[in-house]
Structure 1
Amino acid sequence: MKKLISFLFLYAFIISFGQVYQPIDTADYAQRKDFLKIFSVNAENLIKKSKTDYSGKKGNELSKYYKEFEKDFEGKVKEKDFVFNSVFDSKVKSLIERLKKNNPQIPQNLKILVAKDNTPNAYCFADGTFVINMGLFNWLNNDDQLAAVISHELGHKISEHTLKTLLSIIDQDQMDRTVVQSIKSTKENRNQRAFDVLKSRIYRKGAENRRQEMQADSLGYVVFKNSDFKKTEFINTLKRLEDFDTISPRTLKVETYKKYFNLPQQAFKDKWLKKEDFSLYNYNHFKEKLDKDSLKSHPEIVLRINNLKKIFPELKTDVADEKPSDSYKTLEKIARMETLPNFYHSEDYGVGIYASLQFLQDEEEEKYYKNWLGKCFAKIYEARKNYNLNRYLDRVDPKNQSESYQQFLNFMWNLSLDEIKNIADYYRTEKS
């Protein structure tokens, strides 16, 4: 559900460009090639270092993880999941330089990448590759809040949480093998004992992840407050991310469907909005074996905020968000306009249609979003024709989806192949 949420925050202003917005060009072959060359060298050095620092089986297992990561990440770079030398790069680099001034513990070899991902997130890998998602620019409110997220991730890097997690996995694998052999040697309660091993491992992993998040908050805040950013924006950043975790999508009105799908050659049909009846399904009887709360990798945001306020008294008083700089406002607008190109790139065509309708309902850049509506419907048509629509369009899930999104999914699944094609053709040729 999170991929549905990042574009739903209603801004106080409507983006206005003099002409139809042109998405960021990803034909940056030279820059991508240069990055991969440096990345490959650094990855090999990291693998050699792991074998030197950790002899025997542990070193071999650690280097195996790094090799798998290197291969996977190189694939993402080649698939253009990241943009190079974009308008976002200079902003991120300038913020990191401000953080470095009074924080010599920050690694000097960070390599910055901006991901075509709408979720407000960032992460730093063991080799010093630092990834910032475009969704952060769209979701956060100013430079200070972006710097707060970067500081948190630097807290992970300074603490070498990635390395520690991998070492813990390697140690736990060895312990589990011993337990599994013991289970195999007896016939009684094998299934239950095996499940208990799995459950115990998952719970321990969740608890360790939560501890690391708390630690990264504390270390990140120290980095943040040593710089020239407003201290209270660190707490405000967590509040913004809490909104991302909890905000309910705005309702897509029936009038919006009728406005954009009542076409000259295909009149709107009320039956398209018919919902599947789930009243006979009794979800109260469903009971999961695992405790969901114990599986969360991030502590509840409110607990993280309270923890910081307890450790750092200067954070106890809540203060309103800082106003964004003009440069941040510009990047915020661009990130918002990149929402649809990003969904299209990740093949989230169903979500792309839902997002387009949300923007159109708000009367934002009508020509631009109608064009994306056509592109996404064309992909949905191809998927429906090839019997693989499930890959690009969710099924209705009453337990985990808003009423608005369920209505949208019912609408999409109610359309026939020809009706989908007619909509795709109309919006790919329609001129505003």
Structure 2
Amino acid sequence: MIKKLLSFSLFYCFIISFGQVYKPIDTADYAQRKDFLKNFSVTNENLIKKNRTDYSGKTGSELSKFYKEFEKDFEKKVKNKDFIFNSVFDAKVKNLIDRLKKNNPQIPQNLKILIAKDNTPNAYCFADGTFVINMGLFNWLNNDDQLASVISHELGHKISEHTLKTLIGIVDQDQMDRVVVQNIKLNKENRNQQAFDVLKSRIYKKGAENRKQEMQADSLGYVLFKNSDFKKEEFINTLKRLEDFDTISPRELKVETYKKYFNLPKQEFKDKWLKKEDFSLYNYDNFKEKLNKDSLKSHPEIALRITYLKKIFPELKAEVKDEKASESYAALEKIARMETLPNFFHSEDYGIGIYSSLQFLQDGEEESYYKKWLGKCFAKIYEARKNYNLNRYLDRVEPKNQSESYQQFLNFMWNLSLDEIKNISDYYQTEKS
């Protein structure tokens, strides 16, 4: 959840002015989605046929199941409009990939670009060559070179066929585990503990393999990157930027901001709304974790990744400031920032949508635009509260995992009554607000 918050909560403030209220990207792209799914289905079927040829028996059939299930899940996401087609972002990504291809013939030629309505700075590439870029990357990274470095890393995964290797590993592990499970059934003592040990071993092994693949993708990705016309040092700067996303808490939402936007003409602000839940008597040490969190991680710490890259590529040891964004990148960065609320609303993250709207308003950005989203999100929170499913859209307070500011916000939201939520929703959905 903290990562979702950080996708909009930059630690510096800049004002965006479009001259008029920004209009979110239109997702009425039924024809494009239909054509994409048709082509994706054909490509995926060809991939399944190839795997059956390359891997006979149990491995081939299990791989086919994986790819068929993936196609079903992916089709749902496309139909749900989780991606946008022919957007302003496509040309930029295509240009960066073309620059990478120029001196790297090993990069596949059949890459298809897809922009996801996701605020987290991430990208991934499917086995068929579909390259997904989250909109959050444009908002979080600082320039073309940094975006190209993320693309290079994902191409490293693609060229190394890490997805296929992971799936084959799962199939092989399943077969080995079946034998172990049979032996456990024959043993009448400590069955539960033995079964848990098998599960733990499998999870740890998968985490270790994933971390190894990340390091490999970094190395190969950097080779692709430095063979192109990008500034080498930006590869490390990108990792540092992503490290910020993983480690820095969102900026504080001030009490004055609550009082400013929730002291309404027909509903005065109440101090009791900010009352915090008391967790002082809860003993967090009473529960002992059965799984080591570090062993569960699929990605190595970014600091370790940076150290590793500097060790094998000495030219990366120099510290260089981030390059200034090009005009074309800066324009896309502004659009991605303005799409933050539409994206949260689309993913039904209404609680975070309210929190982010308040932070934008606190910074003085596009007041009428973010007031509108404040109203839209409160309307959804009202419906959820009325239908007794608010937990689906609003977090509970978790003192160990959340910033003080976000805990304060959650206490505020849970302290509001149903009628009070409706009054806020109605006020911010009217033109008079």
Q: TM-score range by the shorter chain?
A: over 0.9
Report deviation, 1:10: 3.6
- Corresponding letter in the other structure for 1:297: S
1:350 partnered with 2:367: no
Letter in 2 for 1:431: K
What is the CA-CA distance between 1:249 and the residue it aligns to?
1.1
Q: Is the 8 A contact 2:341 2:373 kept in 1?
A: yes
Question: Is the 1:367–1:431 Cα contact (8 Å) retained in structure 2?
Answer: no
CA contact 2:7–2:119 (8 Å) conserved in 1: yes
Tell me if 1:99 matches 2:105.
Answer: no
Query: Would the aligned equivalents of 2:145 and 2:234 in 1 still touch at CA under 8 Å?
Result: yes
Please tell me the residue identity of whatever aligns with 2:345: Y
TM-align CA RMSD: 0.8
Per-residue Cα deviation, 1:287-317 (whole angstroms, up to 9, x for no partner):
2011111111110001000000001011011
Deviations 1:345-402 (A, max 9, x none): 0000000000000000111100000000000000000001111111100111111111
Equivalent residue number for residue 304 of structure 1 = 305
Deviation at 1:323, TM superposition (A): 0.7
Match of 1:211 in 2: 212
Q: Is the 8 A contact 2:146 2:237 kept in 1?
A: yes
Match of 1:429, SS? coil
SS at match of 1:112: strand
Matched position secondary structure for 1:431: coil
TM-score by length of 1: 0.99
Q: How does 1:267-306 map to 2 (within 5 A)?
A: 267-306=268-307
Question: For the residues of structure 2 that align with 1:264 and 1:8, how far apart are their CA atoms?
Answer: 29
What SS is found at the alignment partner of 1:123? strand
Asked if 1 retains the 8 angstrom alpha-carbon contact of 2:200 and 2:291, the reply is yes
Aligned to 2:198: 197
Show the counterpart of 1:42.
43
Distance 1:138 1:370 in 2: 21
Query: What's the counterpart of residue 388 of structure 1?
Result: 389
CA deviation after TM superposition for structure 1 residue 30, in Å: 1.3
Preserved CA contact (<8 Å) 1:375 1:424: yes
Q: Secondary structure at the match of 2:90?
A: helix
How far apart are 1:33 and its partner, in Å? Answer: 1.1
- In the alignment, the residues of structure 1 paired with residue 195 and residue 35 of structure 2 have an alpha-carbon distance, to the nearest angstrom, of 47
- How far residue 37 of structure 1 moved from its aligned partner, in angstroms, is 1.0
Aligned 8 A contact 2:11 2:251 in 1: no
**Larger displacement relative to structure 2 (334-343 or 2-11):** 2-11
CA contact (8 A) 1:380 1:389 kept: yes
How far the C-alpha of 1:12 sits from its partner, in A, is 4.8
Q: Are positions 1:61 and 2:62 aligned together? A: yes
SS state of the match for residue 287, structure 1?
A: coil
In structure 2, the gaps of 5 or more residues are none
Q: Percent identity?
A: 86
Name whichever of 72-81 and 281-290 sits farther off. Answer: 281-290
Counterpart-to-counterpart distance in 1, 2:41 and 2:313: 41
Deviation at 1:31, TM superposition (A): 1.1
Give per-residue Cα distances to partners, 1:24-46, cap 9 Å, x unaligned: 00001111111111101001111
- Quote the residue 1:164 is aligned against: 165
Greater Cα offset, 247-256 or 156-165: 247-256
Aligned equivalents of 2:321, 2:276: Cα separation in 1: 42
Match of 1:252 in 2: 253
Q: For 1:37-82, what per-residue CA distance to the aligned partner results, in whole angstroms no more than 9, with x for missing partners?
A: 1101001111111111111111000000000000100110000000
Give 3-state SS (helix, strand or coil) of 2:228's partner: coil
Give the letter for the 2:316 counterpart.
L
Paired with 1:370 and 1:131, the residues of 2 have a C-alpha distance of: 31
Equivalent residue of 2:322, what SS? coil
What code does the residue aligned with 1:400 have?
A: N
Distance between the aligned counterparts of 1:63 and 1:428, measured in 2? Answer: 49
**What's the counterpart of residue 429 of structure 1?**
430
Amino acid at match of 1:238: L
Alignment-mate amino acid for residue 94 of structure 1: N
Contact (CA 8 Å) 2:156, 2:216: kept in 1 or not? yes
Matched, 1:368 2:372: no
Amino acid at match of 1:296: K
- Structure 1: gaps (5+ residues): none
Match of 2:429, SS? helix
Map of 1:121 onto structure 2: 122
SS at match of 1:24: coil
Normalization by structure 2: what TM-score?
0.99
